[in-house]
Amino acid sequence: MRSRAEEEARTAAEVREGLLSRPLPSLPSKLFYDERGGALFDRITRLPEYYLTRTEEGLLPAVARDVVDRVRPRHLVELGSGLGAKVRTLLDAMAEADTGLCASGIVGDFLTDLGALGPGVSRLIAFLGSTIGNIHPREVPGFFRSAAAVLAPGDGLLVGLDLVKDRARLEAAYNDAQGVTAEFNRNILRVINTRLGADFEPDAFEHVAFYDAKAAWIEMRLRAPRGCRVRVAGAGVDLVLSPGGEIRTEISCKYTRAALEALLPATGLRLDSWQTDADAMFALALLRRASKLR
């Protein structure tokens, strides 16, 4: 695993690359989550507009035992530790099925550090919360291949996916009336200020979130109404934004079953089960490791 200094250097490089990208500068969405950002996101999950968390939590109890019966895991690996209630549901299903249970923790980046798990057997990887939506679709097959490499044949990857639906419902979830999501979005600038010595003025930026139907994702941005010049010392970047200039802070991809299946060839994973809530808002997809990796 990387040291703290190595991780900070990696973060600085990612921020530099993102801010220098054109036509639209961007920031890595993992930087939302300092202590304040985590608390804001916890509030978001309880907002009336934000259906994702409560829909997944409502679906998981009906799915968990079926998943455990299919995979018979002894090891549960949760990627991106989030709401403990969802993991508890899976742990309870494993206990009821008497599969045995081994638990451990690893600090790392699930996009780059899955290999730290090493080869294993009887594993179920849980990737819940629609977190897969924050990965660009072109990077998802590589993530799936990394997951398959640490699973034995028949082991599983349980993925939570927010599904394509009408624009109004999607955009409302990321533009709540209380403005919590807007404050969460601006918090990424506070994190950059703290970690990389930047001089952003977070409150001078406007929250923007819209659904791109062609890409099938929600895109969040921060807009500088007056324009600005910002120094990000730790990344060695001077960012100049014209009036109305924007920074992309997150994508949240929305899926269909067909879109997921299109990403699976040559990854070593196959779709074993697909279950949605009654309104087809959210899906839990169980992917199983094939007998041979290509």
Does 5 fall in a domain?
no
Q: What is the pLDDT of residue 171?
A: 99
Note whether 113 and 123 are same-domain residues: yes
What confidence tier does 104 reach under pLDDT thresholds 50, 70, 90?
A: low
Q: What is the pLDDT of residue 108?
A: 59
Note whether 133 and 268 are same-domain residues: yes
Give the tens place of pLDDT for each residue, 115-146: 777 777 789 999 999 999 999 999 999 999 99
Q: How many domains does the chain have?
A: 2
Note whether 260 and 248 are same-domain residues: no
Q: Which residue has the higher pLDDT, 75 or 4?
A: 75
Q: Is the dihedral of CA 290, 286, 89, 216 positive or negative?
A: positive
Amino acid at 58: G
136: buried, middle or exposed (CB in 10 Å: 19+, 13-18, 0-12)? exposed
Kind and range of the H or E element at 217? strand 217-224
Note whether 223 and 245 are same-domain residues: yes
Note whether 279 and 224 are same-domain residues: no
Note whether 70 and 174 are same-domain residues: no
Note whether 89 and 235 are same-domain residues: no
| pLDDT value at 48 more than 80 | yes
Q: What is the pLDDT of residue 195?
A: 96
| pLDDT value at 83 more than 60 | no
Query: Where in the sequence is the domain holding 91, given as residue range(s)?
Result: 52-165+255-289
What confidence tier does 159 reach under pLDDT thresholds 50, 70, 90?
A: very high
Query: Which residue in 183, 160, 181, 193 sits closest to 27, CA to CA?
Result: 193
Note whether 102 and 247 are same-domain residues: no
Tokens matching residue 107: 């600090």
Note whether 220 and 141 are same-domain residues: no
